[in-house]
Amino acid sequence: MNNLLAIILKDTFTLAQLNSRVRVLKSTLLNEFFGGSQTQLTAGEMSWLSSLPPDAKSKFNKDNVYKIFEEIEKAIKLLPTLTIYLTFEPDEPTIFKIGSFARKLYQPNILLDTKIDMGLIAGCSLVWKGRKKDYSLKSRLDEKKGEVLENFKKFLR
């Protein structure tokens, strides 16, 4: 089922997006196979579902749907994740740009885990494989704090 996951990952860049899209696909297929009440989908979710290739859903039937989604959920846990701290909530085009860049720089199937850190000043902070690197202006100011204070003191004299 890695093929289906690859199809989903093609235009899915964040962990939250991936979990949401897998949930939407799963609930839609379960509704088709077993009936019940379908949760109301947003326009974006409906658009994404309709963008899937026709053969993506054809692999499912009521006998294998749970097993396939178990495999997908296990595979998701193994995907590499880059945590990125920003000072703002990124919109879809921004996520696309950052995600595309991260996939070129790190790995082709990397996911972003975006978080908001209002303590940052201009820039971002990244966590990759347990190592944090701060690329924000705040970290540069903290590094040069003594020098900046000394210059202010000279200026005030």
Give dist(CA 26, CA 110) in Å, integer. 22
Q: Residue 157's pLDDT is what?
A: 67
DSSP state of 59: T
Predicted confidence (pLDDT) per residue in 4-62, tens digit: 888 889 889 999 999 999 998 888 888 888 887 777 888 888 888 888 888 887 788 88
pTM: 0.78
| Cα 43 to Cα 40: distance, rounded to the nearest angstrom | 10
How distant is the alpha carbon of residue 83 from its chain centre? 9
In percent, the amount of the chain with pLDDT more than 90 equals: 31
In residues, how long is the chain? Answer: 157
Question: What's the CA gap between 21 and 15, in Å, rounded?
Answer: 10
- Torsion region of 35: left, alpha or beta (phi above 0 gives left; psi -120 to 50 gives alpha): left
Compute φ and ψ for 71, nearest 5 degrees.
-65, -40
Q: Nearest CA to 110 among 127, 133, 94?
A: 127
Query: Cβ of 45: how many Cβ atoms within 10 Å?
Result: 18
Closest CA to 9 of 75, 90, 61, 67: 75
